[in-house]
Amino acid sequence: MILKPVENKEVYHVLDDLTVEVEVMLNPYNFHLEQLFRMAARINKNRSFLFVSRVLGKHLAVNPKIPLLVGNLLAMRYLEVVHGESDPRAEKIAKAIQTNEGLEEVWNSLQIQPIVLPKPATFIGFAETATALGHAVFSTFGNNAKYIHTTREQIDQLTSIINFEEEHSHATSHRVYALDADFFQDDSEVVLVDDEVTTGKTAINIIRKIKEEYPLKNRFSVVSILDWRTQAFRERYNRLEEELNIKIHAVSLIDGVVSINGTPCIEENELEIEDTFQAEVAYLPVSHLLPSAGFQHSSSTSVSGIPTKASYLKATGRFGLEIEKEKEFSTQIQALADYVKEQRRGEKTLVIGTGEFMYLPMHIASQMGEGVYFHSTTRSPIYHSNAKDYTIQQKLVFDSPENQGITNYLYNIEQNQYDEVFILFERMSSLNATDPLIKALSKVKIPYIHIVNLTEIIE
């Protein structure tokens, strides 16, 4: 398919002499581009720029219902493109995302009446940015759906059933762990979910691997918020279809092409640490609210040679999740959200997820009342600068509490911006492992820090 532009080109002067030109070809819900993303310079020799999403909660804090509804909207777009069925709520959801109004109404509608999926589908979210997005797409459906997400972590007791590369990324290797050995042993469609597609190489890599390991798989969809593939890259999907005798659908909220010119030349300035500021830190034990039977999976990981024995949560979908089990877990998650909400002490609250652990913290944050924002730590290194109108102005750097030895970041948290912060962990290597993150947050003077660990710490 050869796309034609539907509106004028946009040229983004990102930083220094780095510019990105965007030409939109398809925009079914009439989003203004700035409602979905801003641009930033990326510390990566393979790709110098980054679409910084304003609707994911990964690099910029958002109302937690926004990324959940973006997943719902993508699910409806998928239903229309692939199955030819439209949902009248799609336009209302798009409007709510664009205006930040009416979020509760459309959200409640989807809880009462989830979408019926005509045929079985296996949804896969890409780590780390799209683990929550993939989960949100999957959870929109009331039937015929199962979910799993890729991971950059190596789990010692399990064997990854799918391994593939994301060449342009800062952490290239992806793994897929399924507790059910037959998780992919059927002919259901595979729906790959990512936040943005620029070349499509990552999708091609995993489609090849899945087809090689599971020959029954013949139908694939690549679902993303943004699709920026050039015509040459689009033709690669066509060639792959012919080579493997498969069908690939591409589904997105914005479809277009980008071109890049120049490179950033940046000197970064670190935030000054005020040693006299000391936040009040409270550790909230919540594992007693979550039944260990069926909810946790005990495994150890080894990252940079440092072992971690804490359990994972099955509710994340990391090991495979059926939609019926998702509904069962939701009762425990709601109880957890109610408990955490009771601990609030301020009017402006930040809830932080960590790394690949995004969906459950985001879902919990969405149930914590007004004045709550969601954000996530990330491995993604982005340039920050106080240059006028540049996207990333603040940057906190610290060692990952889950996987010591891995550098993590938080972006655009200003001093005195929040009354308190809740940091939700799936697992921690130890209580002391949170010290670097707490120290980093001291730079932005958040008075109350609540550490919420969802599994038992095993020293």
Q: Is residue 458 part of a domain?
A: no
Do residues 230 and 370 both lie within one domain? no
Looking at 226, 261, 296, which one is the last position of a domain?
Answer: 261
Q: Is residue 408 part of a domain?
A: yes
* pTM for the predicted model, two decimal places: 0.93
Do residues 251 and 352 both lie within one domain? no
Do residues 292 and 252 both lie within one domain? no
Instruction: Say how far apart CA 384 and CA 269 lie, in whole Å.
Output: 8
b/e map 125-150, b = 16+ CB within 10 Å: bbbbbbbbbbbbbbbbbbeebbbbbb
Q: Is residue 345 part of a domain?
A: yes
Do residues 256 and 295 both lie within one domain? no
Torsions phi, psi for 373 (to 5 deg): -125, 150
Do residues 153 and 187 both lie within one domain? yes
SS3 state of residue 433: helix
DSSP category for residue 176: E
Do residues 296 and 218 both lie within one domain? no
Do residues 256 and 339 both lie within one domain? no
Domain count, the chain: 2
Instruction: Say how far apart CA 350 and CA 348 lie, in whole Å.
Output: 7
Do residues 306 and 204 both lie within one domain? no
Q: Is residue 270 part of a domain?
A: no
Q: What pLDDT score does 78 carry?
A: 98
Amino acid found at 3: L
Closest C-alpha to 107, from 93, 91, 88:
93
Q: What pLDDT score does 184 carry?
A: 96
Structure tokens at 257: 């092409």
The CATH number of whichever domain residue 52 belongs to comes to 3.40.50.2020
Q: Is residue 3 part of a domain?
A: no
The radius of gyration of the chain from alpha carbons, rounded to an integer in Å, stands at 21
Q: Is residue 2 part of a domain?
A: no
Q: What is the pLDDT along the chain (459 residues), one digit of tens a residue?
A: 344 444 568 899 898 888 999 999 999 999 999 999 999 998 877 778 899 999 999 999 999 999 999 999 999 999 999 999 999 999 999 999 999 999 999 999 999 999 999 999 999 999 999 999 999 999 999 999 999 999 988 887 788 889 876 654 444 678 999 989 899 999 999 999 999 999 999 999 999 999 999 999 999 999 999 999 999 999 999 999 999 999 999 999 999 999 888 877 666 666 555 666 889 999 987 877 776 545 666 565 654 445 666 778 889 999 999 999 998 888 888 889 999 999 999 999 999 999 999 999 999 999 999 999 999 999 999 999 988 899 999 999 999 988 878 899 999 999 999 999 999 998 877 778 899 999 999 999 999 999 998 876 555
Instruction: Say how far apart CA 77 and CA 206 lie, in whole Å.
Output: 22
DSSP category for residue 400: -
Looking at 261, 290, 322, which one is the last position of a domain?
Answer: 261
Place of tokens 């190489």: 201
Closest C-alpha to 162, from 308, 319, 309, 294:
319
> Helix 201-213 crosses helix 231-244 at what angle (to 10 degrees)?
10
Do residues 238 and 374 both lie within one domain? no
The CATH number of whichever domain residue 379 belongs to comes to 3.40.50
Do residues 232 and 292 both lie within one domain? no
Looking at 261, 289, 318, which one is the last position of a domain?
Answer: 261
Instruction: Say how far apart CA 334 and CA 341 lie, in whole Å.
Output: 10
Domain, as residue range, for 192: 10-261
Q: What pLDDT score does 172 carry?
A: 62
Do residues 129 and 253 both lie within one domain? yes
Do residues 106 and 241 both lie within one domain? yes
Q: Is residue 274 part of a domain?
A: no
Residues 361 and 424 sit within 8 Å (Cβ to Cβ): yes
